[in-house]
């Protein structure tokens, strides 16, 4: 899980930087970032917040990334431990006699964040 969060933070940073400099016509601006923290000069704060919201909408309000990630994890389990290690019907992993219930990605998607909630948020992080 920490690797997933780290990867999503890194993707957010890359997309925010890209949008920020596209919107400023590639002028040199003071832009500072460390992992998931951003800083700009006061006259660029509104632009930065807008870009962060657009990036979060793209990443977190679409089901596609979760479904692909879930599929990748399942395929990785099958590749590492054999096709019989993962039971597609009851979503369990069985390795070395130990059986583990695999979480259903659809339970996460049903509670997904709506883009409108992100866009209308007063704060970038709620």
Domain ranges of the chain: 1-60, 63-114
Residue 124 is predicted with a pLDDT of 65
Residue 113 is predicted with a pLDDT of 64
Residue 41 is predicted with a pLDDT of 87
Closest CA to 56 of 116, 1, 2, 110: 116
Cα end-to-end distance, the chain, whole Å: 20
The proportion of the chain whose per-residue pLDDT surpasses 70, expressed as a percent, equals 83
Closest CA to 109 of 61, 55, 73: 61
CA-based R_g, the chain, Å: 19
List, for residues 97-109, the tens digit of each pLDDT value: 999 999 888 776 6
List, for residues 70-117, the tens digit of each pLDDT value: 899 999 999 999 999 999 999 999 999 999 999 888 776 665 567 777
Torsions phi, psi for 97 (to 5 deg): 80, 0
């Amino acid at each position: 899980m920490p690797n997933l969060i780290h990867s999503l933070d890194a993707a957010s940073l890359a997309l925010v930087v890209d949008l920020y400099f596209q919107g400023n016509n590639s002028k040199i601006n003071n832009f500072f970032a460390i992992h998931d923290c951003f800083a700009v000069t006061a006259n660029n704060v509104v632009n930065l917040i807008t870009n962060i919201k657009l990036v979060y909408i793209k990443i977190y309000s679409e089901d596609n990334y979760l479904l692909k990630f879930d599929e990748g994890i399942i395929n990785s389990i099958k590749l590492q431990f054999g096709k019989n290690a993962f039971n597609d019907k009851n979503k369990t992993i069985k390795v070395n006699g130990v059986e583990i219930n695999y979480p259903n990605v659809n339970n996460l998607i049903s509670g997904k964040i709506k883009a409108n909630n992100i866009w209308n948020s007063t704060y970038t992080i709620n």
